[in-house]
Structure formats: C-alpha cells, structure tokens
Amino acid sequence: MEIVLSGIRPTGNLHLGNYYGAITSFLKLQEEYKSYFFIADWHSLTTHPTPENIQNSVRTILSEYLACGVDPEKATLYVQSHVPEVLELYLYLNMNAYLGELERVTSFKEKARKQPDNVNAGLLTYPTLMAADILIHRANKVPVGKDQEQNMEMARKFGRRFNTMYHTDLFPEPASFSLAKEGGIKIPGLDGSGKMGKSEGNCIYLYDEPSVIRKKVMKAVTDAGPQTPNSQRPEIIENLFTLMRVVSKPETYAYFDEKWNDCTLRYGDLKKQLAEDIVLATDPIRERIKQFYADTEYLDKVAKMGAEKARESASATLKEVRRIIGFKVY
C-alpha cells in the first residue's frame, strides 16, 4: 500500500481554510493509504519557542486534528520529537547536503531576512530535517502547498543522492501531491483577500465561539451592492458566496444568488445567514476540541500509540540505512 505523509507545523489553531483545504482530505487519505500525520515540533525550534509554547501548541494541534476526525487507529498520528530515529537520518543526510544548495533555498533566504539575529544552522538545514521526516517512512506521497515545493525538491534530491551514492534503491521518490486535486477547497479570507491565512489575520478559527464568528462575518468587507442584473460578482463578494457554497445548504446559496442577480441582495442578510451556517458547521468540532483539549490522559495515549507505530517504521528504515552506510547493526 502506498504511503502518505504529512507534516504539520505547530503554528496555532486550525481555521476554516485548513479544515476545508486540507483536513477534510486527510480524512479521505487515512482511509485509502497507509498514512503518517505528524506534528513538526523540532522544526518549530528554529524560532526558539518557550517550553510552554511547545507543550501548548502540540496539545492544541492534537486536540484539533482529533476533533476534525483524524483517526489515530487508522492513521499514524505522532509528534516528530517522539521519533528519535529521524534525527539520525537527518545527520546522515546532512553529510551529503551542501552549503551552497541549502543557502539557495528561498524560504531560508526569506527567514534569514526576517530574523537576521537568528540565522541558525537549524534554519539552514530545515530542508534536510524535512527530507528525513519523509524518507524515514519511505513515503511515496506528500500533500503540500506550493510554498513547500522547493523543500520537496530537496527531499527528492537528498533521497536520490543517497541511493546513487550507495547503489541502492532504498528511498522511493516522494511525490508532492495537491490537496486541491483531492477535493480540498481554497477558502477565501473575510477581508477580500484571496486566501484565509493566519498571517493575513482574516481567519475564522474552528474554536471560535459563535459570538466571535458572527462578529467576524458581519465585519467582512463588501461594496455598494449589485447595480445591474446578472452582473459578475467582484472578488470580495464572490468570496462570501464561496464560503456559503461550502457551509450552507444548496437552496440557501441559490436564494442569495438569485437576490444578487435581481439586485435585491442586502449584504446584512447574507452575512447573518452565512454566520449562522458557519456556526452550525463548526459546532460539533468546537465541542470536541474542548473535550479533547481537557483530556490530557487521552491525548497522551494517542501520542504514545502514534510514537510506537512511527518508531516501528522508522527503525526498520534506519537499520537498512546503517547497514548500507557501513555501520554495524546489532
């Protein structure tokens, strides 16, 4: 069975964009593939978080993924730092990763510009650690966004380099695959911008209380309203309709679409309806997030089970790697 692996950077809470763009696809992947979903807490060290930051964000992500329906029995859901085998592979890969190629990675250059006082070696070797994450399970497919394409190319290059150097075919080539093609939906922001994103500050979070959701939706940017019948909608308005298509009933969407077309649409009505439908769609998830977050014992159990499954696969690969490189395996 093909192996799918996805790394999740622990950078805060899940929003509607994450949910409809990625998590719903994960729910399908866990049925169809041998899937590994892990929280990249080592990667997060490049920005020097505090111990509290780390603990809270790992706990948050675990609760939110579980609340969304990621099933720890079907997928291997684990925390990167629970699988020390990854670090040994990271070391071997680093021995054949060159300064020049690492320095040329766009995200490295960007981060170096953003944090000039903290251009650490972990930042430079971010792509090698990511390659180790992927190669340790000999993953075939990795769902990533466009921003990770260069890191994926590096992972393929490092795997290939190892194979060539040691005349082996140990590492399959990990293909990037697009969640958009797997039914993922791009969710627009509420500020008229193209995409809902944490850094854009235009998000509705899955844990947002209904009152917060209503406030955010009512504040969404609109314009003067439809002027001519059946006109094309400007992007900021189309965004609201896109959200509605995702969370509302088809007849609700059709109703407001008609109002737009005959120029009788009042944005206040549309927003009220949209807010209620978002509340309804997220209600059960919100409740489950709270339950999981409070249940430390269960979260520990899930993490432990994930670590065991991940380490089994990781140590099998590492054993091969050690033997191939020339180290004795006992």
Answer yes or no: 157 catalytic: no
- Is 134 a residue that touches ligand TRP (CB under 6 A)? yes
Site for ligand TRP in 139-168 (CB under 6 A): 142, 144, 148, 151
Measured CA angle at 46 (ends 77, 40), to 5 deg: 5
Q: What is the per-residue binding string for ligand TRP in 37-76, x denoting contact by CB under 6 A?
A: ---x--x---------------------------------
What single-letter DSSP state applies at residue 326?
Answer: T
Contacts of 117 (CB under 8 A, 6+ apart): none
- For 9, other C-beta atoms within 10 Å of its C-beta total 12
User: Smallest Cα–Cα separation from 179: which of 2, 1, 4?
Assistant: 4
Answer yes or no: 195 catalytic: yes
Cα–Cα distance measured from residue 122 to residue 112, given in angstroms and rounded to the nearest whole number: 12
Answer yes or no: 304 catalytic: no
Question: Which region, judged by CB under 6 A, interacts with ligand TRP, from 3-11, 210-218, 296-304, 320-328?
Answer: 3-11
Question: Which region, judged by CB under 6 A, interacts with ligand TRP, from 4-12, 67-75, 236-244, 263-271?
Answer: 4-12
Nearest-approach distance from CB 292 to ligand TRP, in angstroms:
22
* Position among 9, 104, 109, 186 found at the interface with ligand TRP (CB under 6 A): 9
Exposed, middle or buried: residue 233 (CB in 10 Å: 0-12, 13-18, 19+)?
middle
Nearest-approach distance from CB 118 to ligand TRP, in angstroms:
17
The upper half-sphere exposure of residue 106, i.e. CA atoms within 13 Å in the direction of its Cβ, equals 8
- Which listed residue (109, 195, 249, 290) is catalytic? 195
Cα–Cα distance measured from residue 97 to residue 92, given in angstroms and rounded to the nearest whole number: 9
Catalytic residues: 111, 195, 198
Per CB under 6 A, residues contacting ligand TRP are: 5-7, 9, 40, 43, 130, 133-134, 142, 144, 148, 151
